[in-house]
Every structure is written in C-alpha cells, then in structure tokens.
Structure 1
Amino acid sequence: MNKPYSKILAFLFAFLFAFSTNISAQKKKKEKNTLNEKQQVEFTSKYIEANKQKLLGNYQLAEALYASCLEIDPQSAACYFDLANIYLYQNELDKAISFAQVAAIRNTENVWYKIFLAKLYQNKGLLANSAEIIEDILKKSDQYVDLYYDLASLYIAIGKNKEALAVLNEIEKKVGISEQISLEKERIYTQQGDFEKSISEIEKLIETFPYDSRYYGLLAEVYVSQNKLDKAGEMYQKLLEKDPNNGMAHIAVADYYRIINQKDNMISHLKIAFASSDVEVDMKVQMLASFYTVSEQSEELKKNAYELLQILIETHPNEPKVHTINADYLVRDKRYEEAKNEFQIVTKTVKDKYVIWEQLLLIEGELNDYKSQYNDSKEAMSYFPEQPLLFLFNGMAAMELKMYSEAIESLNSGLAFVYEKNLKANFLTYLGESYHKINEHQKSDETFDKLLEIDVNNLHVLNNYSYYLSIRGEKLEKAEEMSKTCVEKEPSNHTYIDTYAWVLFKLEKYKDAKLLIEKAIFHGGDKNAVIVEHFGDILFKIGEKEKAVAEWKKAKDLGGNTNTLLEKINSENYIENVEVN
C-alpha cells in the first residue's frame, strides 16, 4: 500500500474507535453532498476504479483508492461500507465492524448497511448487538421476512426464548404454518417443560399436513419422552397405517418396542427396516455394530443378529461394509472359514483398507491356510509396501509352505520397517527358523543370538536354539545353559525337559539325562514319539538295551517313522540321528 494512504487509513481507524463509542450522538440522516463538480468527477473516477480492483481481488490497491475517495468526501458511507467488506475478506473482523458501524451511521436509510453490520456482529459472537440492529430494522419495516428468522435464531442462541416465541408466532402470521417454525416452537416448549404446547405444535402440523406421516413419529417421540408409552404406541400405529413401507418408520417403532421390552416385536420391525432400501446402509451397519455386544447375552439374540445380517447382505450384496460387519460377527463366534470368505469378498473391491487385509491374514493363519495367507499377504504388500506385519505374515506362510528362500527374503525386507521390540523378536524367530531349515547354521545362530539380545527370556527360542545345537553337537555348554533356563522357568513342560535331557545326552551325562527324560515322560512326554525315542536312546547308553528297544518300538507306534528309528529297532542298536530338520 502507498504510504500516504496508509497514514490516512491509520488515522481513520483510530478515529473510528472514538467515533463508534458515541454512536447515539451522531447525526441520524445522511449528510448533504457538498462536493463541487471537479471533486465529484474525481471521486466518481476513483470510486469506480476502487470497485474494479476489489472485484479483481487486488485488495491493497482497492483499499488505497477508497482511502483516497475519503480524502475527497469524508462523509461517504459507501466507502466505509466497501472498506468494511475488504477487511472482512482479509479476516480483520474488528476493523470491518468499525468501518461498517460508520457506514450505517453515515447513511441511516440504507438497510443493507445495517444487515451487513448485524452479520459482522454475529461473526464476532456479539449476538445481542446483532439482534438489536435487526429489531430496529423490523420496527421500521416488516417486509424483510428472512430477518424474522434471523432474529428468532439470535433470541434462541442468547436464551431469550419468550422473545423467540413471539417472533416465531409473527412469522407464522405472515407465512402460515410450516414445519420449520412449528418444530422450533415445539423444541422451545419442550425445553421449558411445557409439553402440552409442545404436543399442540405437532398436532397442528398433523392437521395442516395430514399426509405427512413423519409427524406421527415426532408426536410419538414426545409421548415417549414423557413416559406416556400407550399414547406413543397409538401414534406409532398410525404412523405405520399411513406409511407401512417406510423403513425409517419401522426403525422408530422397533426402538419403541425396545423401550417397552418387547424384543420379538423389535426384531420383527428391524427385519422390515433392514430389507428396506430407503434406510441407509450406514445406519444399518451402525445398528449392528451397536448390537454386537448385546447379541452375546443369549443364543436367541445371536440368532437374531445373524438373521439381520443375512437380510442386510441380501439387500446390499455389493456393499463391502456389509460383508465387513458380517465377518466381524463370524470372527467373534470363531466361524473363521466363513469370516475368511467374507473378508475375501471385501478385498476384491476394497484394496486400500489396511485393517481389512490384516484381519484376513490373521484368520488365514488361524485356519492354517498358509497358501491363501501367502498369496493374500503378497498382494497386500503391493498396496502397503511399508507395513511390517504384511512381511511377517508372508514370511510365516512361506516358511510353512517350505518356501524358505522366499520366507527369508520377505522377513529380511520387513525388518527394515520394524522399530518395536516384540515385533522384531517375531521377525527374528521366523528368520532364524528359516535359516535353520536350509542348513544355514551360522546365519541361524547369529539371528537367534540377535533375538536373545532383545528378548533374553524367550523360552521358545532358547529351547529350539539349544536343541538345534545339540543335534549338531555344537556349542553344547551354551545349549545346556539355555535349556536349563527353560526348565527352571517351566519345570513341567515336557518339551523343554526333553531338550535339556537330550543336551545332557550329547554331553554324555547319561545318568542326569535319564532322570530328566523320565520326568519328561511323567509330564506327558509318553505320547510324543520323539521324546519316547530319546528315552530309548538314553536307556541304551546306560546299558539297558532291552528297555531301549521297547521304547523305540513305542515311538514307532506313536507315529515315529524316521529311517534312523527303524534301523535302531531292526539292529537293536543305537544309531546317531542325522535327520537334523
């Protein structure tokens, strides 16, 4: 802005604050124009250019031009009004109000200046000031019907309900009975506890608009709020008589039956509503989400929920959120196969909802459906390339499918996005197992060591790692320490006890190994072919050959079928097991 104009406006703004505090003392009519012809021409030229720049959005230039106009004619209400508009555009609300105040005083006959000022007061939150201006306008002329609505709203906002009702009644005289006015009056009467007048307003709507069934529902709601349930029931009956196919009406009636504890009737009306296309699918889904916990209370309610879900699917078969809510119920009730099918329907069309993919992959893991888990996780990874869980699911599935190289690749890739300790431990567990499966023992050991640095008490890994070392006959002292920790933590776990016994066996501590393997057998190991075979191996080493052969035969009967076991039985001799994996 040019500095001379900036000074002028700064002076004007300072003047306006003093000016606006003494509004009542100002002249109430427009000042006479005292410009000579030359001044008038100059003023008009600059004013037209200012309006042009304002329309073009060049507010600084327009502001300077209006200021120049005010140098010529300080009494110009139009310039003050236009400057107020510019300040409003620039979010300078206080300046806009000050200039609008002057515009309204300079030209008291211009209603639009006053309306503009009233709107500015509303923006500032000065609702009483706004109401005062509108009151003044309506006292002088009642032709501005919209202002009556504004005034009523302002009265309601500042808590002047009596005045608001008077204005609403005035509007009703002018435009007749309308839903907007009657419902606003009904709300005020209800707030005041005057239910008779509240009911009267809705009855007036029913009488005026007899074919609009909604008002019966509104009246029923008022009766429910007053606990006049019989009258509410009558109104709901009339509502359905008027509009039996209105889905929203059946929603309202269902809620009424919920209130009076008639669950069968509630469900019946909900079924009609769920089959209706005029009830939005989002509302139906939200209702089922609310019903989720309630439906667990009894088998009957659970049955009702699935009936509603079936209707919902039949009514909206191509809506993903419908299949999603159905899947949520199925997961809750451990109907995983059906839930998987529902989530797969969703992922055919909805690719960008990560939580859906995660749910699907969790269920596939629960079902041991590793082929589907592998394929679906691979697809999901293409949409969410930095979500580590997807890489974990893919690596786990690949490992279960004996695709160890693919598992290693996915797990190593996913580790780049892992920052949480427990999740990292899971990645390293499966990565170490995958390396073990392809006999990359050095990498396997290094991976397990990294894992134990962040999760020193991971008993699953401590057990497996020590067992793998014992099978290979490597680092047996380390294996003994890790295995001992497992048994100390879980002294009744036959798997951990067996591993500890086997490590001692490899260390040729046969008597100690026998004590431990007998303990493993006692704690349930007698049903495990590998543990029973180990028992036989230990017995053989301490010279109890016949008992050893008997245990090997038991192991075979339990499903043991390795070549090494069969050779032991046939030769009645201990043979080192070379089948590491």
Structure 2
Amino acid sequence: MKVFSRHRLLAAAALVVASLLPLSAQTVSKDSLQRYNYFFLEGLRQQGMGNMAAAFDLFRHARDLNPRAAEVYYELAGFYADLKDDRRMAENFRRAAALAPDNPVYQERLGQLHITQKEYDKAIDAYERLYSASKARVDVLEILFQLYASKNDYKGMISVLERMEVLEGSNEQISLSKMQIYEQMGEKHKEYDELRSLVAKHPFDYDYKVMLGNWLLQNGRKADALKAYREVLKDEPDNVMAQLSLYDYYRETKAFRQADGLLVQLLQSRKTGKDTKMALLRQTIADHQEAGAKDSTAVLGYFDKALALPQEDADLVLMKAAYMTLVKAPVEAVNRVYEQAIAVEPENSHARLSLIQNVWDAADYDRVIALCRPAQQYAPENMAFYYYQGLAEFQKGDNDAALTTFQKGVGQINKDSNPNIVSDFYAIMGDILHGKGMDTEAFAAYDSCLQWKPDNIFALNNYAYYLSLKGIDLQKAEQMSYKTVQAEPDNSTYLDTYAWILFLEKRYGEAKTYIEQALRDKDSLSNVVIEHVGDIYSMNGDTAKALEYWQKALDKGNDSPTLKKKIAQQKYIAE
C-alpha cells in the first residue's frame, strides 16, 4: 500500500478520542468497545510514527468494530483526501459530523467541504451548527455572512450582523453593512434608522452627519440635507467632506453661483487634498465640455486658483498641461506649464520628457540638451534622456559629443530596456563611427543594433551600404538590403543600395531592374546614386544611357575623378 504524507500528534489525537469515546460506548458492546479502542489507538500511534499504510488498515478495522464512532470516520476522511478519493472523503466527513453534531472540528471541516463543492445551503447548516456550539467565534460569523451573501439572503445577512454586534458591539462597519443591505431590500426606513443611530452614537464625528445629509439628498429630502450640512459647517467651517457634499447639493439644485464660490473655496483650501482637487477639476472640465463651451479661460482660471498654493508634487501642474494640450493651447504656453512642473518636481521624468518632445519638434537642439543633462542625474536609468541628448548633438553635427552621450546611455542597458531606443542608440553610433573611419567598431554597433531590433530598416540599409563600399560580406549585405526593399518597396534610397549590391555581385540584369524602380523618384536622387545608375547601364551594354546619367551626376556636383574618366573613356571604371 502507498505510504501517505499525513502527520498527527499522538497526544492531541488521544484527547479527541477521549472526548468522543463515551458517545461510541453507548452503541457497542463492552468487548467490541475494548477491541475498537485498541485498534483505533494503535492506528493513532502508527500514524504518529509515520507508518501511514498500517494506520490506514487499523482505522478501517476499528470502523468495522464500531460503526458509530465519529472519530474514526474523521481520521479515514483525511486518508481518502490524500488518496484523492473525493467521494469517500466526503462520505466520511459527513458521517463524522452526523455522529458528533456538537463537535466543532467536524462541523467546520464539513462546512469547508460543502463550500468547496458549492453546496452553500448545506454549508450554511454546518456553520450554523458550529456557531451554536462556539458562539464566541467571529470568524464563523464572517463565513456565514459570505455564505448568505452568495445567496442574496438579506435576512440571513442581517441576522449575522446582529450577532456580530452582540459579540463586538456596534461599530461603523457593521452599521454601514446593515444600511447597504436594507437599501438592497428596499427597506428605506430601516436604512435611515440605522444611519440616525450611527449619528446618535457618534455625535462628535461629523462624517456620519454628512453621510446622513447625503442620504437625505439622495432620497429627495433636500431641505433636511441642507440643514445637516450647515450644522456641520457651523461647528467646523473647513470640513472638506461637508463642503464637497454641499457643493453637490448646489449643483443638483442648480444654484450655480453658490456652487462656483464653494468650488473656488475648496480649490484654494490647504485642507482639500490633491486628489480631491483633481477630481473637482475633472468634473469642471467635463461640465465645461458638456455645456459646449469653447473658451477654456474659465477652466484655466480654476487651475490657477488651485496652483496658487505651493505644490508638493507636479501632478496638478501636469493636469493643467494635459488640459491645455487637449484644447490646443499654443505649444509655448504648454511648455511654460511643463517648466513650472519641473520647477516643482525636478525629478519628474514625465514632465521633462513631455517638454523635451515639444522642444524637439521645434528643432531647438540646444534646449533639448540643456533639459536632458540634469535628467541623467535624477533618472540615470532612463535611456530616453541619453537618446534625445545624443540625437540633438548629432543633429548639431557634434558627433564626438553625441558618441560620448550614446556610450553613456549604452551603459544603462538592461534586459528591461526599450528595444526600439536601444536599437536606435547602436544604429546612430554605427553611423557616427563609420563617419570617423572606424568601420570595425561601426559594424559591431550595427550588429548590436540588429540584435535588439532585427527590422531596424535604417540600420539595415546603412550597414548593407557600408559593407558594399568596402566590398566585403556582400551576401550578408544583400540579405539585409533586401529586407529594406521588402519593407519599403518605393524607397529610392533602399532600391539604390540593393541595386548597387547586386551590381557588385555582377548580377547586372537584376541591378538594372531595381535601379530603374529607384528612378521613379529621380528628382530626389543624389549625384552618387545617379552615378550608380550610369554604372549599371554601362555594364548592361547601354553606353548612351550610361553617359547620360554620368553627365547628370557631374552636373549635380559629383566631381569624382573616376566619374570624369568614365565619361572620357565611355565605360565603367571601378573605384
């Protein structure tokens, strides 16, 4: 037989047996009881020693001797649970609970079993019996409450809450739960009485009185609600909860002038929390839009009132910036708000990046650099700041500074880094290194770029073209270039690169096909590309067209000595 993994302390088990044996003694002969006791206790002893197979056999034999012994069914149920025999486990737990209905352990285990099997009515019965035997157990009442709630048995839920009040005394949570249930039952008078009782028990807790006012307002008793709010504000004029409720009252009764005054008071109060102010402003924006108002000046005025106080963080400022963006305020005006956010919270990356992106669109590269540098101190792990700074330096032609910035950014790369940003880092580094004549380092950078993003089209094109210029790894260059042509089949730059690689591989007919596709955008072609067109026509035997395009390349400023030799000798000459 399989050895089971259950362990029980022999001493504890013996105590359970001692408490239950009198029940068994009433139903069996003295001889059978003695034999039962021996086998059951021996089963417990073997179980305590870890001899689970032997214990299982002893318990089953004990059951046969005394079929009315609850404790042996309980023990056997545990073995069947280990055997994954759910049917026999359930049968034995039920038998144990039925034979010993006053045993809290058995009733609780039976209740748990019914819950797992979604037999909620039976679970309720088991836990009600358990509560009858253990009236001080709040945890049992909590489970009963959930069980009654699963059946929408409101009366049962109220009964449980009332029993909790006997054990714990009345408290806010119980009262609020009873109110909610009474509301679901449609018994408004009981809900109201419960709330009034809560107010009476806590006369100096104004929140309850405000809650009472809110209930009155929701139930159409507006005059009584107003009275409740004013009573609170008379004793505590800066009570935010009462002010908010009174604000809702004014809005509902269309007393818009009073509502506006109270809104300003709440926005300017130090006691009004930031989240509350943001909620009020969101509501104000929604009201403004719902009314179809196009002038945002009034809403911005509310923001200014809220922001007149010193801010602990940039959240409210950023909310203003978001609203200004929504209503299409001038970019420079929005940027001033982002600057205000950064002044309040210099380490706020969202505010700084939003400003950087706006400044980038204006091509103000010096300002981009100035915004990025301090950000690298506040958030050294955020690669976006290295990216924008390096790109701005690259756009300014300061390649050495850009390379240094990108190398610093590369030092922050980890497994969670944004693949698009990392890939672009390496791609631009490759371009810069190639421009410095450091092709080995450039090609290594491109390889890193493509590891992070294999479909980085710009890097694929540049890498392929630079390999072709050196005349190395042409097969690799062709494969990379073909990906760019597949991705953007009308891009003349990519078509030229692919055609030129085919040309170097002496696949002149294919090269002609692709270079002629590039010619569809001939006005944008550089003089180098136009020279390539002539080279390809020359090697395809069309000297007249070759001379035509070589001359065009020369006219566009291509002063290559080799180009002049091609024209003079009317044939292709390799560099």
Return the TM-score normalized by structure 2. 0.65
Out of 416, 422, 430, the position equivalent to 1:390 is 422
Aligned: 1:411 with 2:446:
yes
Out of 142, 146, 151, the position equivalent to 1:120 is 146
1:503 is aligned with what amino acid?
I
CA distance in 1, matches of 2:423, 2:302: 47
| Corresponding position of 1:530 | 558
CA distance in 2, matches of 1:360, 1:90: 60
2:478 is aligned with what amino acid?
F
Q: What's the secondary structure of 1:455's corresponding residue?
A: helix
Aligned 8 A contact 1:189 1:195 in 2: yes
CA distance in 1, matches of 2:137, 2:477: 82
Residues 185, 280 of structure 1: alpha-carbon distance in 2 compared, 3 angstrom cutoff: farther
CA distance in 2, matches of 1:280, 1:87: 52
Aligned 8 A contact 2:461 2:481 in 1: yes
Quote how far apart the aligned CAs of 1:61 are: 7.7
| Corresponding position of 1:548 | none
Quote how far apart the aligned CAs of 1:529 are: 0.8
Quote how far apart the aligned CAs of 1:230 are: 0.6
Residues 96, 398 of structure 1: alpha-carbon distance in 2 compared, 3 angstrom cutoff: same
Aligned 8 A contact 1:271 1:311 in 2: no
CA distance in 2, matches of 1:277, 1:446: 60
CA distance in 2, matches of 1:218, 1:272: 21
CA distance in 1, matches of 2:306, 2:114: 49
Q: What's the secondary structure of 1:230's corresponding residue?
A: helix
Residues 268, 168 of structure 1: alpha-carbon distance in 2 compared, 3 angstrom cutoff: same
Return the TM-score normalized by structure 1. 0.64
Q: After superposition, give the CA deviation of every residue in 1:248-302 in whole Å (9 maximum; x if it has no partner).
A: 78767766875566744643553464465555544544553454333xx242xx4
Aligned: 1:103 with 2:130:
yes
Aligned: 1:342 with 2:371:
yes
CA distance in 2, matches of 1:84, 1:181: 41
| Corresponding position of 2:343 | 314
Structure 1 segments unaligned to the other structure (5+ residues): 6-32, 54-59, 543-573
Aligned 8 A contact 1:336 1:367 in 2: yes
CA distance in 2, matches of 1:104, 1:178: 34
| Corresponding position of 1:16 | none
CA distance in 2, matches of 1:291, 1:122: 51
Aligned 8 A contact 1:510 1:538 in 2: no
Q: After superposition, give the CA deviation of every residue in 1:146-193 in whole Å (9 maximum; x if it has no partner).
A: 532321133346665554233212221222264443444455455556
CA distance in 1, matches of 2:312, 2:216: 30
CA distance in 1, matches of 2:75, 2:365: 69
Map of 1:31-110 to 2, 5 A cutoff? 74-76=100-102, 78-79=104-105, 82-83=108-109, 94=120, 97-105=124-132
Aligned 8 A contact 2:313 2:344 in 1: no
- Identity among equivalent positions (%) equals 9
| Corresponding position of 1:462 | 495
Residues 362, 233 of structure 1: alpha-carbon distance in 2 compared, 3 angstrom cutoff: same
CA distance in 1, matches of 2:153, 2:389: 54
CA distance in 1, matches of 2:145, 2:562: 90
Q: After superposition, give the CA deviation of every residue in 1:63-110 in whole Å (9 maximum; x if it has no partner).
A: 979979978983426446654786699898847544212224567x76
CA distance in 2, matches of 1:279, 1:184: 30
Residues 340, 532 of structure 1: alpha-carbon distance in 2 compared, 3 angstrom cutoff: same
Quote how far apart the aligned CAs of 1:515 are: 4.5
2:533 is aligned with what amino acid?
Y
Structure 2 segments unaligned to the other structure (5+ residues): 9-19, 27-36, 49-73, 80-91
CA distance in 1, matches of 2:410, 2:5: 64
Q: What's the secondary structure of 2:472's corresponding residue?
A: helix
Q: What's the secondary structure of 1:76's corresponding residue?
A: coil
Q: What's the secondary structure of 1:101's corresponding residue?
A: helix
CA distance in 2, matches of 1:346, 1:130: 60
Quote how far apart the aligned CAs of 1:509 are: 3.7
RMSD between superposed Cα atoms in Å:
5.3
Out of 446, 452, 455, the position equivalent to 2:482 is 452
Query: What count of residue pairs does the alignment treat as equivalent?
Result: 486
Quote how far apart the aligned CAs of 1:394 are: 1.3
Aligned 8 A contact 1:347 1:356 in 2: yes
More moved, 224-233 vs 356-365: 356-365
| Corresponding position of 1:21 | none
| Corresponding position of 1:490 | 521
Map of 1:205-220 to 2, 5 A cutoff? 205-220=232-247
Map of 1:149-548 to 2, 5 A cutoff? 149-156=176-183, 161=188, 163-176=190-203, 178-189=205-216, 191-192=218-219, 195-239=222-266, 243=270, 263-264=296-297, 266-271=299-304, 273-274=306-307, 276=309, 280-282=313-315, 284-294=317-327, 297-299=328-330, 302-331=331-360, 333-352=362-381, 370-372=402-404, 374-381=406-413, 387=419, 390-402=422-434, 403-418=438-453, 423=455, 425-437=457-469, 439=470, 441-444=471-474, 446-452=476-482, 455-456=485-486, 457=489, 459-467=492-500, 475-487=507-519, 489-495=520-526, 497-505=530-538, 509-516=542-549, 528-530=556-558, 540=568
More moved, 186-195 vs 94-103: 186-195
Quote how far apart the aligned CAs of 1:410 are: 2.6
Quote how far apart the aligned CAs of 1:502 are: 4.2
Residues 98, 229 of structure 1: alpha-carbon distance in 2 compared, 3 angstrom cutoff: same
